[in-house]
Structure 1
Amino acid sequence: MGVRDVEVSLAADDGVVLAGTLTLPAGEGPHPAVLLLHGSGRLDREGNAGRVRLGLGSSLAAALARVGVATLRYDRRGVGGTPGDWRSVGFDDNRRDAEAALRALAARSDVRTGAVGVVGHSEGAVHAMSLGGLPGVAAVVLLAGFARRGEDALRWQAEKVAGGLPAPLRPVARALVGRQVARVEASGADVVRVFGMRLNARWMREMLVHDPRSALAAVRVPVLAVTGEKDVQVDAADLDVIRDLVPGDVEVHRVPDLTHLLRLDHGVPSVRSYPRLLRGPVDADLLARVAGWLAHRLDEASPHR
């Protein structure tokens, strides 16, 4: 039996059905498995949002299947096959949905008991930090995850992104973020308008006050954390915080030329390079590093050893 994709339906705590894909490796199960959590916004199970196609889901699932590990990923609320309005879904809702998906994955008969991990990218990495302390999680991979209060992470990102724009646009970009934060904090609505744009205010309010450091200190399983030196959305220096806070086995990598999009860029880092970078694939070395690390760690965690 070869590698195969299985369409799955996952029940969230409030009854909403999350639509997803489970990629199973060749051979008979049960298999070690991971839950993949994507970044922020209107993302489907592959990490794509409209024309912005990160393609992390299928790329990572293929790399993991080659080393015998299954991968589950799902559409966010209001995206793809999952009902709802993505603009009114909170940061905490995303974490709760991830917990429900994790429970569903661990309960499957084709998934090996005790050999389930979590991989998160960007916002997904922050939720993976929270899931890493739950019973039954055997390994955690953090790709470009921040390790500071959400508002501090957002303001760092805003400054880096503004610095990579043409000089006349920099003050506008800085003012936009400041206006967004002020408008969101002053409102109790799920959705607000800032400069004519509809903004998920509930998500932002919850993200701004979230501090992942206590979750990191509660993770007792092995952790792999990777952030690129060319990342303009997450400070690679947060890897030091992750290494210092996780009490168990932690491995960190600050990768030269790796961007937030998990592609390499040998030029000056800027969000203006994103359209060009997205025409290429996810970095093969990163995929191989993650797959090899997870295969080893989940095999160590398996009861059959």
Structure 2
Amino acid sequence: MEKPSILHLFTAAKNASPFDVNMAFDAGFDKIMPYTHVDLTEVAGLTQDAIFSRSPSGVKREGIFIGGRDIDLAMQMLSVAKAAMFAPFACSVFADPSGAFTTAAAMIAKVEAQLKLKFNEDLNGKTLSVFGATGPVGGCAAIIAASCGANVQLVAHNSLNKVASKAQSWNSQYQVNLRTVDGTDEAKKMDVLLQSDIVICAAAAGVQVVSELQLLAAKQLQVVADVNAVPPNGIQGLHVTNDGDKIAGTQIVGVGALAIGQLKYATQHQLLKQMLAHEVEQPQYLEFMAAFHLARTLLKNPS
């Protein structure tokens, strides 16, 4: 009798995400077991408990999902879990804290696709400004975009030092070159918009960051994207359903939260299915760049 497929869900938070549990069941896992308040020092032991309790064929029907809210901790947990395993006792590991990896991947893939479709350009050399840059989605989107050659600016809306510290840390960890710019008042924010080709908004839900008047004045802007689906939108005039529509009165192309969310859902679903599909393959270690490459592929081949 075939052993049930099990997804072990590790999170440093006090609760596992119901979203991730639903996604795992819908992708085909038979059982999902959450482990909460997980410390980094516990990951190796939990991983080895999971893999040594089954034969090599049984281990292939397991996976580890890493949640939480901290993108750096999630990447560290993935590395520790991977290092704790060895052939033939190894299973796939997928990190997606708060859905940030798949959301950021979908957002940047959508922006890249619109640049190509509407302007026949790519991200390389583009000035991309991130509002809400210290959160998990904004930070991850910044790292992905920088990895694609964009000149990424993290916009500070409150503390310049806090954002600069994040940029320095991510530059060191992910070998990118993120810059920090001052957006702490409306005049400084306007200066940022005037020199941006792309703006992405990953600020707190229900907070408007960019106004329609600012968009009208930002003549260099080509594409804007916003993951906020809670009114008011982070970017005024950008509707949640926009998927390449122009912002009224401008030549700026917009991508809204629902358009991003649909691709995020498809990306997470397929990555979870890939964890089950490796039964005759090597384990997969899936993080934000894996999510981005898949999101790109799904846009090109939606079937």
Fold agreement, TM-score > 0.5: no
| Greater helix fraction, Structure 1 or Structure 2 | 2
| Greater strand fraction, Structure 1 or Structure 2 | 1
- TM-score norm. by structure 1 comes to 0.37
Task: Kindly name which structure, 1 or 2, has the bigger radius of gyration based on alpha carbons.
Answer: 2
